[in-house]
């Protein structure tokens, strides 16, 4: 396991602040002798340090895939599988699969299928809770479309939530990507929508707990 570069500044700042709090905690203890307060505050500092570090963890995973496989781009839970009208790029009906990421999930995001990046667009917006029906169209978000070697296209969209306040993405139009390549990161809880052709095979169901690079969510036909 490694730690993501997007978290270096936040982790350093958080650990410095927690160290300062703990130093103050020690002087408070020496002045008052309140051991119970010292232990409570120490435990709180340790928990906060753990939460900050674990959020930016990047587990070592190997993505083993076939040419037409579609893999989950993020850790989380499947909260939507439905046929919808995708209005930004395709402007027609697609199968939407949405994965909700809690603050406890790994937040690095990975390309669900190999191909050529055809479209990338960032949209500033609101910060509605990630499961809100309008979060897909009203929240801060980024949209990426990859064209598979078959000519079919897959769209995936990072969506900020009520807590997530920064979307990071690293791909550009014309770039070739492989299934499981890292394409972005979302800080502090959010959601990813994947839009697939209607004839795609779907391998997950609502409520499934999925993992990036490991869970096959479908297959192009």
Residue boundaries of the structural domains of the chain:
2-58, 69-219
pLDDT tens string 175-199 = 999 999 999 998 766 889 999 999 9
pLDDT tens string 75-113 = 999 999 999 999 999 999 999 999 998 888 888 999 999
pLDDT number for residue 107: 87
Query: How many whole angstroms separate alpha carbon 118 and alpha carbon 175?
Result: 8
CATH class of 69-219: mainly beta
Nearest to 159 by CA among 169, 151, 167: 167
Phi and psi at residue 48, to the nearest 5°:
-65, -40
Q: In the predicted model, what is the mean pLDDT of the chain?
A: 90
Catalytic positions: 190
Q: What is the pTM of this model?
A: 0.86
pLDDT number for residue 37: 93
Nearest to 179 by CA among 144, 143, 146: 146
Contact 73/61 with Cβ under 8 angstroms? Answer: no
> Quick one: what percent of the chain has pLDDT higher than 90?
71
**Sequence-separated (6 or more) residues with CB below 8 Å from residue 17:** none
Query: How many whole angstroms separate alpha carbon 168 and alpha carbon 185?
Result: 5
pLDDT tens string 37-87 = 999 999 999 999 988 888 888 889 999 999 999 999 999 999 999 999 999
pLDDT number for residue 133: 58
Query: How many whole angstroms separate alpha carbon 193 and alpha carbon 118?
Result: 17
Nearest to 96 by CA among 194, 184, 175: 194
């Amino acid at each position: 396991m490694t730690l993501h570069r997007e978290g270096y500044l936040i982790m350093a700042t958080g650990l410095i602040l927690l160290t300062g709090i703990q130093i103050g905690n020690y002087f408070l203890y020496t002045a008052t002798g309140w051991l119970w307060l010292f232990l409570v505050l120490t435990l709180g500092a340790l928990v906060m340090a753990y939460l900050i570090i674990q959020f930016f963890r990047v587990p070592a995973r190997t993505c083993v895939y076939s040419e037409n496989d579609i893999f989950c781009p993020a850790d989380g839970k499947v909260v939507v599988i439905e046929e919808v009208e995708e209005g930004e790029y395709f402007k027609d009906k697609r199968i939407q699969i949405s994965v909700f990421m809690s603050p406890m999930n790994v937040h690095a995001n990975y390309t669900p299928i190999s191909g050529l990046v055809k479209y990338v667009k960032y949209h500033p917006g609101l910060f509605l809770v990630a499961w809100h029906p309008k979060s897909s169209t009203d929240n801060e978000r980024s949209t990426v479309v990859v064209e598979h070697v078959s000519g079919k296209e897959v769209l995936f969209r990072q969506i900020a939530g009520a807590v997530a306040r920064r979307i990071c993405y690293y791909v550009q139009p014309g770039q070739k990507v492989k299934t499981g390549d890292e394409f972005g990161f979302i800080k502090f809880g959010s959601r990813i929508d994947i839009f697939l052709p209607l004839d795609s095979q779907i391998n997950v169901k609502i409520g499934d707990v999925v993992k990036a690079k490991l869970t096959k969510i479908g297959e192009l036909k």
